[in-house]
């Protein structure tokens, strides 16, 4: 009697597994299809956002601006191919309605670090010695950004270093009258 029940149970369990099998597949599909649609919608949304940013970055008479990405960060930048003083570089950007690049996060810094030649950025302590300001008006005082500068920099050597370049992979203050490449940033 007990033996028969065990055999019967096993038989039923096998039947159930065989029978339930397709419905498990169907329910997985029912779960997966909306997820797939959601995933596709999100990807399409991100893609159209990037296309919008690219269009906005390239619009206007100056076609040299390009969109660069690091993680969720996008920057619209023009990298000069000639060197100039800090003031001239700043004026060049301003004439185009932009500013020297503000690289105030590590993601933005990573975008800057893709360049290897010394390059002016939008950071200086011209107004008050030792108080660095980004060219969007923010003061440079976030301790998380202290690693942006080389060791022992900013040094204000001979009390004439008020403008900042990327030098190697980190920042350095140098005399504003020196000539370097520069980077303009269009705010999107």
Nearer to Ca ion, 51 or 87 (CB): 87
Alpha-carbon torsion (128, 132, 135, 140), positive or negative:
negative
- Cβ atoms of 105 and 73 closer than 8 Å: yes
Q: Which is nearer to Ca ion, 5 or 158 (CB)?
A: 158
**Considering only residues 27, 155, 169, 177, which one is a binding residue for Ca ion as defined by CB under 5 A?**
155
Nearest to Ca ion of 70, 153 (CB atom): 153
- The C-alpha atoms of residue 101 and residue 89 are separated, in whole angstroms, by 11
Minimum CB separation of residue 120 from Ca ion in Å reads: 14
Q: Is 161 one of the binding residues for Ca ion (CB under 5 A)? A: yes
SS3 144: helix
For Ca ion (CB under 5 A), the number of binding residues is 8
124 binds Ca ion (CB under 5 A): no
DSSP labels, 14-63: HHHHHHHHHHHHHHHHHHHHHHHHHHHHHHHHHHHHHHHHHHHHH-SS-T
The residue among 114 and 131 lying less far from Ca ion, judged by its C-beta, is: 131
Among 162, 163, 164, 165, binds Ca ion (CB under 5 A): 162
Which tokens go with 58? 């390239």
**From the CB of 149, what's the least distance to Ca ion, in Å?**
9
CA–centroid distance for 24 within its chain? 42
Rounded CA gap, 135 and 165, in Å? Answer: 13
| Listed ranges 13-21, 74-82, 117-125, 132-140: which one lies at the site for Ca ion (CB under 5 A) | 117-125
CB of 93 to Ca ion, least distance (A): 21
Interface residues toward Ca ion, by CB under 5 A = 125, 153, 155-156, 161-162, 172-173
């Amino acid at each position: 009697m007990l033996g028969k029940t065990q055999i019967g149970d096993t038989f039923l369990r096998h039947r159930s597994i065989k029978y339930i099998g397709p419905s498990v597949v169907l329910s997985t599909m029912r779960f997966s299809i909306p997820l797939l649609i959601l995933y596709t919608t999100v990807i399409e949304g991100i893609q159209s956002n990037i296309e919008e940013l690219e269009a906005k970055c390239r619009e206007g008479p100056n076609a040299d601006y390009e969109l660069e990405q690091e993680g969720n960060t996008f920057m619209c930048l023009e990298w000069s191919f000639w060197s100039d003083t800090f003031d001239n570089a700043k004026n060049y950007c301003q004439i185009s309605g932009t500013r020297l690049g503000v690289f105030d996060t590590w993601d933005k810094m990573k975008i800057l670090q893709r360049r290897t030649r010394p390059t002016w950025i939008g950071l200086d302590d011209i107004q008050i010695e030792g108080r660095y300001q980004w060219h969007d008006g923010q003061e440079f005082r976030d301790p998380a950004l202290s690693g942006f500068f080389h060791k022992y920099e900013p040094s204000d050597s001979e009390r004439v270093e008020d403008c900042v370049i990327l030098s190697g992979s980190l920042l350095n203050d140098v005399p504003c009258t020196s000539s370097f490449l520069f980077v303009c940033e269009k705010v999107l």
